[in-house]
Amino acid sequence: MANRVAIVGIGQTTHSGRRPYVNDGELIYDAVTRALEDAGLTINDMEAVMAGNMDMFEGHHLNDAMLNLYSGAAGRPGFKMNTGGTVGTMTAIQGWYHIASGLYDVCLVIGWEKHDEGPATPAISTITDPAVDRHFLVGAIGGLATVSVAYMQRSGCKLEHAAMVRANASQAAHRNPMAHMREIYSVEDVMKARMVMYPLNLLMCCPTSLGATAMVLASESKAKKICKKPVWMKDHVTVHVEYGGAQFGIGEKRWTSHMEAGAKLFKRNHITKPMQETQVFEMYDPFAFAIPMWLEDFLVCEPNEGWKLIEKGALKLEGEYPVSPSGGVLCTNSIGDSAILRVAEAALQLRQPIRRCTLHQLYRRLRHT
Amino acid sequence: MKEKVQEELIYINKTMKIPYKWRTGEVWGEFFRELKENGIIYANQCPTCGRAFCLPKDVCTRDHTRCTDRSKWIPVGPKGTLVTYFMAEQSFLLPTTGEMLKIPFAVGIILLDGATVILQHQLEETDEEKIKIFMRVEAVIKPKAERKGNIFDIVHFKTITE
Ligand SMILES: [Zn+2]
């Protein structure tokens, strides 16, 4: 049986589009310092340090090694995660494993991105085979646009619903002082934005942001001494996807990694009505169709119901089931930091809820790869 | 957080040009040889589950079976059905060429007739109004003299009516 793991310290930088006056190490240092302050600990209390970022994006190999003076990893165990958009959650999960296993009691986990230092889109495209489909991917946005078109086709969701999602996100981000795009947009504003990659217009895509987030994780015995309001990381599921037709329901029943993750997570936590048994969902929502589509795919709501929940206003900040009350990735996308920020924001929601919400409520989270 | 210094500091501007030579392996090598020499698009079949892969797969994702048995390969397409698509209306830097993408650039996810998995390739049609999900498309293959044994031996997929 795994030991319980809590989040006891949270630190993030402000997020923005360009900060030419700092380097990536300085971002890490700021986030780490804030997380340590929040936990009331020093770097010497950290038994291991986990780092998450994508080497290709800023053009350094082993940048965690180069930047270990900023993170505090020098002289400590721990390792680097190098997945894509998921990297931040994967890094938090590595911290979880190290504590759940009993190996360490206190772990520092960090994710960061200095998005203004290089073009992420060609770097992302290198996930595909150079001989085959690399030319036809056009970064993450190409893939996200294709799933959006397919979602509209099968569910009846319209562009206007994506615009509602982005308008809701802008309201949430406006109240989050650490978010990148904090302007309020109406549905009409979003609909008028210039098209980038049909069906995604500029506001329906996540921005290119920079920032860093760090968290201190601790075992149960330490957590209660460190912090009055530890937030427990109850469970996590990771699923790898097959690149093929299954996600479009070609030749077989539609199947995605989200569905597999949602089914496993809810089953082993005995959750049968996710929208009633959980109160908030902080989603990695990098494009406006993500919220309705992935709520369905994570089995939080019924198929083809996601956009109807948007239409009813149920997913707004003040709605019955707020999704991404931080403003989400739609308003702040510092990629290497985006996913760990979701974990941090979910934890912040449980510490200082936007609405009635019991503090002992367990933190549950879904991520996909 | 309040920033004290807001002006830009010194930065290093650098473009990295790094040469690579990627080997295609047995299955892809054979797929591209057939495309180049005979202008035929092949799917390789998994001997365990029977799925026909186009684009081909070295190993079946579901059962971890090697799919190199050449006698199990079947010609697929060149006609197929559009499953979904995207259309770039803003240009992006391409890692394949180091150049900016020429827009508009429409890419389709296509299921070739006879295949059980999808491939992704350029669509000839770039008028968004004229692209319909489940419309029929056909691969336009370059004349033999121009074929090089790579994915661009398929120029694009054109819309067809049947
Ligand atoms: Zn198989």
Domain assignment of residue B66, yes or no: yes
- Per residue in A57-87, pLDDT (tens digit) is 888 888 888 899 999 999 999 989 998 889 9
Higher pLDDT residue, A246 or A251?
A246
Domain span at residue B133?
A: 25-159
Looking at the complex, report in whole angstroms how far the Cα of residue B71 sits from the nearest Cα belonging to chain A: 23
Q: How confident is the model at residue A360 (pLDDT cuts 50, 70, 90)?
A: very low
Domain assignment of residue B148, yes or no: yes
CA of B47 to the centre of ligand 1 (A): 7
Q: Residue B137, SS3?
A: strand
The reported pLDDT for the residue numbered A359 is: 31
The whole-chain average pLDDT of chain A stands at: 90
pLDDT at B117 over 90: no
Domain assignment of residue B5, yes or no: no
B83 chain-A contacts, CB cut-off 8 A: 150, 245, 248, 250
Q: How confident is the model at residue B3 (pLDDT cuts 50, 70, 90)?
A: low
Instruction: Say which amino acid occupies B140.
Output: V
Q: Which of A13, A146, A194 sits opposite B1 (nearest CB)?
A: A13
SS3 for chain A is CCCCEEEEEEEECCCECCCCCCCHHHHHHHHHHHHHHHHCCCHHHCCEEEEECCHHHHCCCCHHHHCHHHHCCCCCCCCEECCCCCHHHHHHHHHHHHHHCCCCCEEEEEEEECHHHCCHHHHHHCCCCCCCCHHHCCHHHHHHHHHHHHHHHHHCCCHHHHHHHHHHHHHHHHCCCCCCCCCCCCHHHHHHCCEEEECEEHHHECCCCEEEEEEEEEEHHHHHHHCCCCEEECCCCCCCCCCCCHHHCCCCCCCCHHHHHHHHHHHHCCCCCHHHHCCCECCCCCECCHHHHHHHHCCCCCCCCHHHHHHHCCCCCCCCCCECCCCHHHHCCCHHHHHHHHHHHHHHHHHCCCCCCCCCCCECCCCCC
Looking at the complex, report in whole angstroms how far the Cα of residue B146 sits from the nearest Cα belonging to chain A: 17
Could you please state the CATH topology (level 3) that the domain comprising A5-121+209-232 is classified under: Peroxisomal Thiolase; Chain A, domain 1 (3.40.47)
| Cα separation of the two ends of chain A | 25
- Establish whether the linkage from the previous residue to A207 is cis, with ω within 30° of 0: no
- Per residue in A271-330, pLDDT (tens digit) is 999 999 998 999 999 999 999 999 999 999 999 999 999 999 999 988 999 999 999 999
Q: Which of B85, B86, B95 sits opposite A125 (nearest CB)?
A: B95
CA of A235 to the centre of ligand 1 (A): 31
Q: Does B62 touch chain A (CB under 8 A)?
A: yes
Query: Of the given ranges (A46-55, A77-86, A94-103), which has the lowest mean pLDDT?
Result: A77-86
Q: How confident is the model at residue A356 (pLDDT cuts 50, 70, 90)?
A: very low
Q: How far apart are CA B139 and CA A207, in angstroms?
A: 35
Of A208, A207, A202, A203, the residue nearest A166 (C-alpha): A203
CA of A246 to the centre of ligand 1 (A): 14
Q: A-contacting residues of B 122-161, CB under 8 Å?
A: 122, 128, 133, 150-152
CA of B38 to the centre of ligand 1 (A): 27
Domain assignment of residue B91, yes or no: yes
**Protein residues placing their CB within 5 Å of the ion ligand 1:** B 46, 48-49, 60, 62-63
A126-205+235-333+343-351 and A5-121+209-232 share a CATH fold: yes
- Per residue in A205-245, pLDDT (tens digit) is 999 999 999 999 999 999 999 988 899 999 999 998 877 78
Max mean pLDDT range (A166-170, A275-279, B1-5, B56-60): A166-170
Q: How far apart are CA A295 and CA A284, in angstroms?
A: 11
The DSSP string of B65-85 is -B---GGG-EE--SEEEEEEE
The reported pLDDT for the residue numbered A361 is: 33
Pairing of strands B52-53, B42-45: antiparallel
Of A299, A248, A250, A296, the residue nearest A146 (C-alpha): A248
Q: Which of B92, B111, B133 sits opposite A138 (nearest CB)?
A: B92
Residue with tokens 């992704």: B120
Residue with tokens 């293959």: B141
Backbone dihedral angles phi then psi of residue A109, each to the nearest 5 degrees = -125, 140
Task: Provide CB contacts within 8 A for A71, sequence distance 6+.
Answer: A28, A29, A32, A49, A51, A64, A108, A110
Looking at the complex, report in whole angstroms how far the Cα of residue A141 sits from the nearest Cα belonging to chain B: 9
A150 chain-B contacts, CB cut-off 8 A: 83-84, 109, 133
Domain assignment of residue B15, yes or no: no
Q: Which of B20, B22, B61 sits opposite A242 (nearest CB)?
A: B61
Q: How far apart are CA A282 and CA A200, in angstroms?
A: 21
Looking at the complex, report in whole angstroms how far the Cα of residue A208 sits from the nearest Cα belonging to chain B: 14
Query: Span B29-43, mean pLDDT?
Result: 96
Where are chain A's structural domains? 5-121+209-232, 126-205+235-333+343-351
**Interface mutation target, options B81, B92, B101, B157, chain A, most CBs of A under 10 Å:** B92
Pairwise CB contact (< 8 Å): A20 & B9:
yes
Pairwise CB contact (< 8 Å): A251 & B116:
yes
pTM for the predicted model, two decimal places: 0.91
**Interface mutation target, options A146, A196, A204, A213, chain B, most CBs of B under 10 Å:** A146
Domain assignment of residue B13, yes or no: no
Asked if residue A39 lies in contact with residue A215, where contact means CB atoms within 8 angstroms, the answer is no
**Interface mutation target, options B107, B123, B133, B134, chain A, most CBs of A under 10 Å:** B107
Query: Span A100-111, mean pLDDT?
Result: 97
CA of A241 to the centre of ligand 1 (A): 15
**Interface mutation target, options B86, B93, B96, B128, chain A, most CBs of A under 10 Å:** B86
**Which helix (H) or strand (E) element contains residue B26?**
helix B25-38
Domain assignment of residue B57, yes or no: yes
Query: Span A125-145, mean pLDDT?
Result: 86
A122 chain-B contacts, CB cut-off 8 A: 92-95
Percent share of chain A, pLDDT over 70:
95
Report the number of distinct structural domains present in chain B: 1
A121 chain-B contacts, CB cut-off 8 A: 92-93
CATH of the domain spanning A126-205+235-333+343-351, picked from 3.40.50.720, 2.170.190.11, 3.40.47.10, 3.30.70.100: 3.40.47.10
**Which helix (H) or strand (E) element contains residue B29?**
helix B25-38
CA of B68 to the centre of ligand 1 (A): 12
- Per residue in B11-28, pLDDT (tens digit) is 788 887 888 888 888 999
